[in-house]
Amino acid sequence: MSEAVRDFFDGLARDGGRMLRQVRGTVRFDVAGPDGVDRWLVAIDQGRVAVSQGGMDDADTVIHTDEALFLRMAHGEVKPMSAWLRNDFTADGDFRFVIMLERLFAPPPGARHPRTVGGHRGPAGGREPW
């Protein structure tokens, strides 16, 4: 498996829980590469993320993808939900984890937070968006 895939999962285990505070479950990624299929299990427990490689552990959702698409999603070049709707990858199991993929992968290059774009500075002071 490529170092880029390994780096993604290492980073996810290190600091991936910031957007997953209300999520609990497991997602297995079956990533097909030139040397076969590598399996990565991501266990999420209210913001705590643990990643392990290998094995055939049961998971709430199993994502089947190839390495090239996986890396494009990891770099924010492809939105996971759009890729799934185009049938670029398949998922078995609990659908809510397919939706959650948007939180795991990087935003598109050049993306900005909607509040920054709208000029909203919060409820205590500043311009309201309406």
pLDDT of residue 112: 65
Contact assessment for residue 72 and residue 78, using Cβ atoms and an 8 Å cutoff: yes
| Strand partners for 26 | 43
pLDDT of residue 57: 74
According to CATH, the superfamily of the domain at 3-118 is SCP2 sterol-binding domain (3.30.1050.10)
Q: Where are the domains of the chain?
A: 3-118
> What is this structure's pTM?
0.80
Rounded mean pLDDT of the chain? 84
